[in-house]
Amino acid sequence: MAELVTSPEYRAYLDGLIAGLDRAMEIANAAKSIGVDPRPYVEIPIASDLAGRVEALLGYKGVAAKIRELEDRMSREEAALKIGDAFVGKEFGEAAREEILDHAIRTSMALLTEGVVAAPTEGIGKVAVRRNDDGTEYLSIYYAGPIRSAGGTAQALSVLVGDYVRRLLGIDRYKPRDDEIERYVEEIKQYNNIQSMQYLPKDDDIRMIIRHCPVCIDGEPTEQEEISGYRNLERVETNVVRGGMCLVIAEGIGLKAPKIQKNVAKMNLDGWEWLEELISGNAPAQEEEEEPGVHPKDKYMRDMLAGRPAFSYPMRKGGFRFRLGRCRNTGLATCGFNPATLHILDDYLAVGTQMKVERPGKACGVVPCTDIEGPTVRLKSGEVCRIDTLDSANKYYDQIEYILDIGEILISFGEFMENNHVLMPPSYCEEWWLQEGGPRHPADEGEALRFAAEGAYLHPDYTWFWDDCTEEQLTFLAEKTAAAGSMKNGVLYIREDPAVKKVLEELLVPHTVEEGSYVLRTPLAFLRGLGLTDTLERSSAWQTLPPFTNGLIMAAHLSGLKMRSKAGTRVGGRMGRPGKSAPRKMKPPVHVLFPIGEAGGMKRSIDSASKICSADSDENFAGTSVTTGQVEGLIQIQTGERRCQKCGAVTFKSRCPDCGAHTEAVYRCPHCNQEGEPGQDSCPRCGANLVCSKESIISLAQEYAAALKNVGMSPSSAPELKGVRGLISRERVIEPMEKGLLRAKNTIFVFRDGTIRYDMIDLPLTHFRPAEVGVSVEKLRSIGYTKDMHGAELTDASQTAELHPQDIMVSVDCGEYLVRVARYIDELLVKVYGQEAFYHVETPEDLVGHLVMGLAPHTSAGVLARIVGFTKAKAGYAHPYYHAAKRRNCDGDEDCVMLLMDGLLNFSRSFLPSTRGGTMDAPLVLTTTLNPKEVDKETLNVDVMSRYPLEVYLACLTYRPPKEVGKFVDYVEKRVETPGQFEGFSFTHDTTDISEGPIDTMYTNPILKGTADKIKAELGLADRIRAVDTNDLAERIINSHLMPDMIGNLRSFSKQAFRCPKCKTSYRRIPVSGKCNKCGGPVKATMHKGNVTKYLEISKYMAEHYTLSAYTNQRIQVTEMNINSTFGEEEKTQMDLSDFF
């Protein structure tokens, strides 16, 4: 593959990252060579490109070189298909037919998903060759639940690859039976009821897909429910719903049929002609409106959750006004808001909060942008003013009576490209005005009118919201102003009149209320728009007044000036998930992957377990047998069996306790005890699956004492150490207890793969200032930031520097947590591995320049990154390339970071669960270098110019498709394979501080004690926002959240199981004795009355205080009747004399 095209400066940056990684790898390998870990070497392979990731992820030697060869001469989709030729030709070694099919399909899927997600390893259960009724063979692919992470396109193309390879192997097509076709129809609909898919094909569509698809799309059981009809079919192995299969057919082939058809045509494959009929005759309904124009869409308002407010109804007056542009911290599904807007909306929208939006996408991340307009409010004094700064928002917050307009939302051109959404008219703004010939920012209203008289459009600062008013309203306002107004010293006074006030607020004209009059201190443009002179007389324009379609055209005619809409297009929005910045913890949190069964009690305390002396009792936990012995601290527990390669001793430890050599896992047959050879999966004698498991008697007291001694702790000073109940990995390998003690000492927690992680919401950033990231200029210069974005020497904290793609800003909380992790790593290296300390950090700033690993959920590839700063926001800022490399965008996604040395030292595949999906969210490979061609394609649409040309704004007015206008915009895709793909980016709007605004959302504020408080606060805010219908909102909350919860819990109450809290045994019915048959403990219900009735009172409160439909009111009453019939009505308390008066 061709070398990455970079500038010399950027190449030096990459070389520095690789040098730091090499040094860390050398130290980690030296440390692990002593043998205390499952493997005596670093278990995370390194990959510099996509091909390397695919080979490391799947383990097929030689695949990387072949992929590089193919990608040099064809597209990635073609390469994903043609890789099958190499497997069929046995270029990677001898293999059976099933192995060839399996490896080809997995490799193609890994290639299509950038070698990042776990779908190639976890999303395909197996591949089998089976027989049709006519005796011919067919290919069957068994999909599993994690196939979801691949996305619809890769899911569908994996079927195409299967078809391509089975033809090469001479395998016939799948010929379904009629009952199998109907089973698919019923099963997909049942799965949709369980999981609610993105797209559900019509029944006939499903029949068409199954009848014509040349590959059998099968699957593993994934759900708890069984299919209700077409059960016990001969060629369907299970009656349980198969989620992976449903996803591939519905969201893969059904939804992505056009993309499959393009690849079929490109590769000239036959047998897929039926896709044309599927696409043309049964295409999914178009959600976007007919051009021209856009219309209200309320999809984002469905499934309202209690406590998460709506801020703007679809295209409602007073809602978010669309402004076109990209701030340095927006793009990649993130939108900008004035910090004043965030605060005035009661701090619900904190930096990093997700907001569900009407368009152009489904959701966005919330970030501050001080270059756009804030909200316009009515104060309790009657004054109407616009608030553009956070200081002003704090000043006026308690005086606000009503929010007339919630301000602008900054959306970049790239968002329309990514979502294939037509452009739409933005709010008129100064950058647009300047492009249309405005000479400079006007000094005052008079100069703005003079510019307009000379031919420019009226400046947006003096353009009111004329198109929000009707012709009748403007006529009325002109008459009242002429009759009841007066001009004094350039200030307009209009006598108080509620009807006049209403129209002034529709126009969002700033004014105060003084001595019985409305006072306008910038009245000239207002009067011109009403067709009035400075002496409040009607102009001659009233005499030639034609009929108008809206108030803006009328105002332009009356004024004789050119005007554009200040309202633009309104965008609806409601709160989604809150931001997050928190350590990753298991449930419950533990310090070490050391099993102690039930001996540690609910706290999993190893110290307590080491002192226990109790009678023998068998317990089961996740398939792990545990016995507590008679001797104090002696437990019998199921561990892995390991053998020393030097002295032959059998132990459960990774390091031999006799000679200190490394041990290897031993696999045996659970039936005949036959030991398997290395690499064998099944017993050579009876064919059963081999397991690595033995009953080990462990002296927990001795192990605990030895661990304390090894790390230099005394029992009295040791922190509480928490272990796990049992092990569910294939090797059942145990982590050294010393690691847990050092973690507990530093108050940090381990994840299931042995690493320590910190989770944050993803936010994008292309430029930063030293002053906002808590790092000195000197420190930044020492790690390579010597120039600002304009090429000047970086000498001042207020200068703006361009962020390198693999540099990240973590939250302040994360920085403090990672300091503790670094101390733990240093102690671990010294006290356990016998090496020198690595980090030597005391403060978060000491972490600047150190390497970390980023990893997203449902993926298996970490990304190398470097810490360069900190943000007060509960989020992590990083370059769009970095997020895209993890296959994430920034619409509310979250992922984690871990210190590089922690991952290299402590991660092991041997800790991962052996269950389906166990390798998801694990760093099975580490990407060292980001290539824009090999990351998620969404980042290619990020625009990087300093201003949009006039052609873009004019295209917005006519609702043009963004691809037609792309030639006027500089975006990442145009820069790929040039030095400009990594640097030289710009932005159209700026912000003073990327953390400015609320840090913690009101939704998580402890001042709101429960759901009732949250709902009342939510509705209280809605009452103050013009763009929200509070009655409708209350009804939506009840019908989408409260009622389904109560009804569902009432149903669950009648079907509930009962459980012994002591031994965790479940019962369908309580034993006659009322006690657990196993341990004699109490048996308790798992559902209680409070679970059912928790939303009843707040629902009744909402019905009383808001206008709900008769249906919803009756639904609340019926639910209350059902609850009372189940539990009985509340007993009336004893009455006193006052009850009779």
CA distance 717 to 702: 17
Pairing state between β 400-405 and 310-312 = unpaired
Whole-angstrom Cα distance, residue 506 to residue 466?
8
* Residue 615, pLDDT above cutoff 60: no
- Distance between CA 614 and CA 946 in Å, rounded? 73
Portion of the chain with pLDDT greater than 70, in percent: 96
In this prediction, residue 1112 carries a pLDDT of 94
Q: What is the pLDDT of residue 343?
A: 97
Q: What is the mean pLDDT of residues 157-161?
A: 93
Question: What is each CA distance from 420 to 952, 966, 1098, in whole angstroms?
Answer: 15, 12, 42
* pLDDT for position 600: 76
Angle at 1076 between CA 1070 and CA 1077, to 5 degrees: 100
Kindly give, in sequence order, each residue whose CB lies less than 8 Å from that of residue 1124, ignoring residues fewer than 6 positions away: none
Q: How many angstroms separate the CA atoms of 458 and 559, rounded?
A: 10
Torsion of Cα atoms, 240 then 242 then 246 then 247, to 10°: 140
Helix axes 1011-1023, 1030-1037, angle to 10 degrees: 160
pLDDT score for 1137: 55
Per-residue pLDDT tens over the stretch 514-526:
999 999 999 999 9
> What confidence tens digit (pLDDT) does each residue in 224-240 have?
899 988 999 999 999 99
Output b/e per residue, 36-53; b: 16+ Cβ within 10 A: bbbebebbbebbbbbbbb
Query: 1134 falls in which pLDDT band (50, 70, 90)?
Result: low
Q: Cα separation of 1022 and 319, whole Å?
A: 12
pLDDT at position 291 over 60: no
Ranking 29-33, 608-612, 722-726, 1135-1139 by mean pLDDT, the lowest is 1135-1139
d(Cα 641, Cα 694) in Å, to the nearest integer? 6
Lowest mean pLDDT: which of 14-28, 345-359, 880-894, 1079-1093? 1079-1093
Position of tokens 């909350």?
A: 1037
Task: State the pTM of this model.
Answer: 0.92
Closest CA to 311 of 894, 1121, 1026, 818: 1026
pLDDT digit string (tens) for 1022-1059? 999 999 999 999 999 999 999 999 999 898 888 888 88
Tell me the average pLDDT across 313-319. Answer: 96
pLDDT range class, residue 1130, cuts 50, 70, 90: low
Residues 552-607: tens digit of each pLDDT: 999 999 999 999 999 999 999 999 999 999 999 998 999 999 998 888 777 888 88
Cα(1063)–Cα(1080) distance, integer angstroms: 9
DSSP code of residue 663: E
The pLDDT, as a whole number, for residue 1133 is 56
What are 900-957's pLDDT values in tens digits?
A: 999 999 999 999 998 888 888 999 999 999 999 999 999 999 999 999 999 999 999 9
* pLDDT digits 0-9 by tens, 171-230: 999 999 999 999 999 999 999 999 888 899 999 999 999 999 999 999 999 998 999 889
Which range has the worst mean pLDDT, 713-722, 822-831, 832-841? Answer: 713-722
Q: For the chain, how long is the longest CA-to-CA vector?
A: 108
Note whether 386 and 510 are within 8 A (CB). Answer: yes
For residue 628, what pLDDT is reported? 43
pLDDT tens digits along 686-700? 878 888 888 888 888
Tell me which of 683 and 442 has the higher pLDDT: 442
Res. 446: pLDDT tops 50: yes
Residue 590's pLDDT is what? 95
Task: Kindly tell me if the per-residue pLDDT of 289 is higher than 60.
Answer: no
Considering only residues 263 and 314, tell me which one the structure prediction assigns the higher pLDDT. 314
Q: Which amino acid is at 387?
A: I
pLDDT of amino acid 621: 33
* pLDDT given for residue 1136 in this prediction: 60
**If you search the block for the tokens 């776990």, which residue do you land on?**
118
Secondary structure (3-state) at 1019: helix
Percent of the residues in the chain that have a pLDDT greater than 90, as a whole number: 76
Instruction: In whole angstroms, give the CA distance from residue 297 to residue 316.
Output: 11
Q: HSE of 466 in the Cβ direction (CA atoms, 13 Å)? A: 32
CB 209 within 8 A of CB 249: yes
Amino acid at 650: V
